[in-house]
Amino acid sequence: MLRTVLQQTRTLVTMSATTVSAGPRPIVLAGPSGAGKSTLLKKLMAEFPNAFGFSISHTTRKPRPGEEHGREYWFTTREDLIRGVAAGEFIESAEFSGNMYGTSKRAVEDVVRRGKICVLDIDMQGVKSVKNTDLNARFVFVQPPTFELLEKRLRDRNTETEESLRKRLDTAKGEFEYAALPGSYDFTIINDNLDQAYADLRAIVLEDISKMQ
């Protein structure tokens, strides 16, 4: 009896692993804050509204009216989230205004199982941690043409205080250094002219999209 149950469990595990590995490869978009990741993603979603999926994050914050567990977020406790992070179940986690947030590996796999290309807009730490999983992602670095232009775009975006701007530009240096290492990314898109940068991103994902249709 126990053997049968174990065998069944093993079969189920193998099946789900096959489904995920046969599914569309997740695409990781990384790059310094202000590089243009959101801008490029918005264009991609507008052109291919059904091809992509976003993973549902975990959060320790309380649900707002109308929010549903498993739709906007997986609402959880700090204790459980910390436990999951320690167990290596999360590809990234962070603290924002007193609450913890995280992206679990499982949440990415759920998107793949639904047959969608999971898009991950993450930082360098997230890139490193996705590399340590079997998610078989493709890694794209969005690079601003120059550091000066990155600063200008961040300033013109009008979303940052002087302090948060400094912090983002400091972090950007590390992002550039990591991107310069051989093998850190599969593709680099230089976001100088937006239309050209989008054409480059489109070409990267087009093959995956055509396989889905």
Ligand X SMILES: Nc1ncnc2c1ncn2[C@@H]1O[C@H](COP(=O)(O)OP(=O)(O)OP(=O)(O)O)[C@@H](O)[C@H]1O
Residues 133 and 201: their CA atoms lie apart, in Å, by 23
Our answer to whether residue 157 is catalytic in this structure is yes
**Do 38 and 132 form a contact (C-beta atoms < 8 A)?**
no
Q: Read out DSSP for 99-117?
A: EEEEEEHHHHHHHHHTT-E
Catalytic residue of the set 71, 114, 157, 166: 157
SS3 (DSSP) at 90 = strand
List 20, 24, 26, 33, residue binding ligand X (CB under 6 A): 33
10 is a contact residue toward ligand X (CB under 6 A): no
The window from 36-44, 51-59, 65-73, 74-82 that contacts ligand X (CB under 6 A) reads 36-44
179 is a contact residue toward ligand X (CB under 6 A): no
Q: 83 or 157: whose CB is closer to ligand X?
A: 157
List 38, 57, 125, 133, residue binding ligand X (CB under 6 A): 38
**Do 153 and 38 form a contact (C-beta atoms < 8 A)?**
no
Our answer to whether residue 64 is catalytic in this structure is yes
Residues 82 and 145: their CA atoms lie apart, in Å, by 38
List 24, 36, 53, 84, residue binding ligand X (CB under 6 A): 36
199 is a contact residue toward ligand X (CB under 6 A): no
Of residues 107, 94, 109, the one with CA closest to residue 21 = 109
Our answer to whether residue 168 is catalytic in this structure is yes
The window from 32-40, 74-82, 99-107, 205-213 that contacts ligand X (CB under 6 A) reads 32-40
Alpha helices in 23-104 (DSSP H): 37-47, 78-86
Binding stretches for ligand X (CB under 6 A) = 31, 33-39, 153, 157, 191, 194, 197
Residues belonging to the active site: 64, 157, 168
